[in-house]
Chain A
């Protein structure tokens, strides 16, 4: 502990403080007062930033040190056992059942405990749970970095909006159609990118996402362009009139059902034949081929199945907001969904659910901090990735029985 106050460390912190003063100078110190046409110099802010940065940098390094213990110890061992504790807790069936029970009760009681504003936010968060789990198939399991996932979300939303507008098709018919169309687009995207990996795949999928958005924005006859489509009906039960409030509660429960369905399917998929093939393909393509895995089919199924959930999420989104336009389907959306997957710990279902709630609810509840909310949001992301690069809940596989290894391992 004491070595944190050596001269060297103090120098580091001083530099850090100066750097932060420099960075924040324009916003924290200078204020132009347009009424009197004068510049206010808020020097006390500079002092605050300096002092704050100085102390926080100590704290930061202390925690970093705590995370990566001194090199004399076997670093892996310590890190793994620490990260294992939480996963261990999750795996023990007692705590697990208790947690699931509590979550179910909370989910069912939620609309009766909180305002409809809260219910709406929760519905949105649930949509992102589904989107996160869907993208998790593509990125987490199959290891295909898809930056254009929002395209499939848009396909789902627009298929409901347009089919309803032109043909009066109801939500219940459009839900499977939206899913199927999104899957079809998944395959369409999949074909040209079959040979690509990593960065190249990311760039092409990014382009694909933008193409879909630009088409929606510019093809006025088809999609009504930037002005969007309004008056999309909310889902109902035929023969029952619902108030606005009741329909948002109904949508909430629908979303809960869809999320549960997604969780069920995705957790099944993971241990299925195709799930294994995805994971193996992510690890080594050549070895996979040598084992007789059909690379083309396996990748296309990942794209198609991943897109299916985005399609359903999109239909839900259109039904919830009753108005959609291309602005809802920008790259930022893809980035947020990808953040959910990465933050949750690639491939972990519970992790993805937790991070969807954190990433969607955090900005909502930070509205009190108005202009700082995105700053805090960004800071949380950065801190998370520095301290837990493996995600909230790391894949159990990677922490498999690490302890016994040290003594058993022999050189060859």
Chain B
């Protein structure tokens, strides 16, 4: 579904990605784990076109997207839940969700998807007219995911959804990530520092260090891998 070929992304003179190659198949949950500053967020930003790779290519279902504008990429069906949630604090929950459907014109479909996300996260239905900024951290993460789902993405990019949340809430959110993948056949690219959790829900995983992919394997194998255990699982 998504093919990333040897991309290198720079911030000014700083090279954040030093040649990343990565494949995501239809219907998978893929995870990218790595320490802080490894370049995980930059990888997602490069896919979305917010940060542009200077070299390399990205194909989405065969279409080259590395030179496309962000709006076009989103319109193709790639939607990102950015790191740190980034909900719109002064817009209500409802308005946040409407922003998620910004590029869509099918009123009926939007209505259905709204019911769908309210099914996934009933708490959001209760909070629908409350300003986004007044939600708790967990609720904000749920809103951020729901907002992305309102775009009806084919590929959902999640950047550290567990960041700063209590274990119980994280558990709940990861359950729902699995559910989204199983029920709507949405392909999910999950970026995490919490390797243990991420590898438990994912089918396959990549490990990233200093802008390079250092390992790629099935999630189970990575969970059992000695190096991964030492570096990322704290065992």
Q: B130–A400 contact, CB under 8 A?
A: yes
Q: Which residues of A contact B151 (CB under 8 A)?
A: 291-292
Residue interface bits A249-291, CB-to-B below 8 A is 1, else 0: 0000000000000000000000001001101100110111111
State the Cβ distance, A272 to closest chain B Cβ, in Å.
12
Q: Which residues of B contact A283 (CB under 8 A)?
A: 88-91
Q: A284–B74 contact, CB under 8 A?
A: no
Q: Which of B115-139 contact A (CB under 8 A)?
A: 126, 129-131, 134, 136-139
If A290-B82, A405-B134 touch, whether A279 touches B87 (CB-CB below 8 Å) is no
If A294-B71, A400-B129, A409-B136 touch, whether A289 touches B88 (CB-CB below 8 Å) is no
Whether, in the assembled complex, B20 has its beta carbon less than 8 Å from a beta carbon of chain A, the answer is: no
Q: Which residues of B contact A402 (CB under 8 A)?
A: 134
Q: Which of B81-106 contact A (CB under 8 A)?
A: 81-82, 86-92, 95, 98-100, 102-103
Report how far A283 CA is from B90 CA in the complex, Å.
Answer: 7
Q: Which of B48-96 contact A (CB under 8 A)?
A: 48, 50, 69-71, 74-75, 79-82, 86-92, 95
Q: A400–B92 contact, CB under 8 A?
A: yes
Whether, in the assembled complex, A165 has its beta carbon less than 8 Å from a beta carbon of chain B, the answer is: no
Q: A292–B88 contact, CB under 8 A?
A: no
Q: Which residues of B contact A294 (CB under 8 A)?
A: 69-71
Q: A287–B88 contact, CB under 8 A?
A: yes
Whether, in the assembled complex, A401 has its beta carbon less than 8 Å from a beta carbon of chain B, the answer is: yes
State the Cβ distance, B50 to closest chain A Cβ, in Å.
5
Closest to A405 in B: B134
Q: A276–B95 contact, CB under 8 A?
A: yes
Whether, in the assembled complex, A203 has its beta carbon less than 8 Å from a beta carbon of chain B, the answer is: no
Q: B70–A400 contact, CB under 8 A?
A: no
Q: Which of A276, A277, A290, A410 contacts B136 (CB 8 A)?
A: A410
Q: Which of B79, B91, B165 contacts A412 (CB 8 A)?
A: B165
Chain A interface helix/strand/loop/mixed: helix
Whether, in the assembled complex, B191 has its beta carbon less than 8 Å from a beta carbon of chain A, the answer is: no
Whether, in the assembled complex, A411 has its beta carbon less than 8 Å from a beta carbon of chain B, the answer is: yes
Q: B88–A290 contact, CB under 8 A?
A: no
Q: Which of B90, B102, B137 contacts A277 (CB 8 A)?
A: B102
If A276-B98, A401-B129 touch, whether A286 touches B74 (CB-CB below 8 Å) is no
Report how far A400 CA is from B131 CA in the complex, Å.
Answer: 7
Q: Which of B12-26 contact A (CB under 8 A)?
A: none
Chain B interface helix/strand/loop/mixed: mixed
Q: Which residues of B contact A409 (CB under 8 A)?
A: 134, 136
Whether, in the assembled complex, B169 has its beta carbon less than 8 Å from a beta carbon of chain A, the answer is: yes
Closest to A288 in B: B99
Q: Which residues of B contact A273 (CB under 8 A)?
A: 102
Q: Which residues of B contact A280 (CB under 8 A)?
A: 88, 91, 99
If A283-B88, A284-B88, A412-B169 touch, whether A290 touches B130 (CB-CB below 8 Å) is no
Whether, in the assembled complex, A398 has its beta carbon less than 8 Å from a beta carbon of chain B, the answer is: yes
State the Cβ distance, B159 to closest chain A Cβ, in Å.
10
Closest to A409 in B: B136
Q: A412–B137 contact, CB under 8 A?
A: yes
Whether, in the assembled complex, B148 has its beta carbon less than 8 Å from a beta carbon of chain A, the answer is: yes
Q: B86–A286 contact, CB under 8 A?
A: yes
If A290-B50, A412-B169 touch, whether A397 touches B129 (CB-CB below 8 Å) is no
Q: B130–A405 contact, CB under 8 A?
A: yes
Whether, in the assembled complex, B147 has its beta carbon less than 8 Å from a beta carbon of chain A, the answer is: yes
Q: Which of A40-62 contact B (CB under 8 A)?
A: none
Report how far A409 CA is from B138 CA in the complex, Å.
Answer: 11
Q: Which of B71, B92, B136 contacts A292 (CB 8 A)?
A: B71
Report how far A279 CA is from B139 CA in the complex, Å.
Answer: 21
Report how far A55 CA is from B86 CA in the complex, Å.
Answer: 48
Q: A397–B92 contact, CB under 8 A?
A: yes
Whether, in the assembled complex, A293 has its beta carbon less than 8 Å from a beta carbon of chain B, the answer is: yes
Q: Which residues of B contact A410 (CB under 8 A)?
A: 136
Whether, in the assembled complex, B235 has its beta carbon less than 8 Å from a beta carbon of chain A, the answer is: no
Q: B136–A411 contact, CB under 8 A?
A: yes
Report how far A355 CA is from B233 CA in the complex, Å.
Answer: 59
Q: Which of A294-318 contact B (CB under 8 A)?
A: 294-295
Q: B70–A397 contact, CB under 8 A?
A: no
Report how far A279 CA is from B87 CA in the complex, Å.
Answer: 12
Q: Which residues of B contact A288 (CB under 8 A)?
A: 99
With most chain B CB atoms within 10 A of its CB, the pick from A284, A405, A409 is: A284
State the Cβ distance, B77 to closest chain A Cβ, in Å.
10
Q: B137–A397 contact, CB under 8 A?
A: no
Q: Which of B87, B130, B136 contacts A401 (CB 8 A)?
A: B130
Closest to A402 in B: B134
Q: Which of A342-401 contact B (CB under 8 A)?
A: 395, 397-398, 400-401
Q: Which residues of A contact B80 (CB under 8 A)?
A: 290
State the Cβ distance, A274 to closest chain B Cβ, in Å.
11
Report how far A397 CA is from B80 CA in the complex, Å.
Answer: 26
Report how far A71 CA is from B100 CA in the complex, Å.
Answer: 39
Q: B74–A290 contact, CB under 8 A?
A: yes
State the Cβ distance, A50 to closest chain B Cβ, in Å.
45
Q: A interface vs B, CB < 8 Å?
A: 273, 276-277, 279-280, 283-284, 286-295, 395, 397-398, 400-402, 405, 408-412
Query: Can you list 16 A-B contacts with CB-CB less than 8 angstroms, sorted by A residue number?
Result: A273-B102, A284-B87, A284-B88, A286-B86, A287-B87, A288-B99, A289-B48, A290-B70, A290-B79, A291-B99, A291-B100, A291-B147, A291-B151, A292-B102, A292-B103, A397-B131
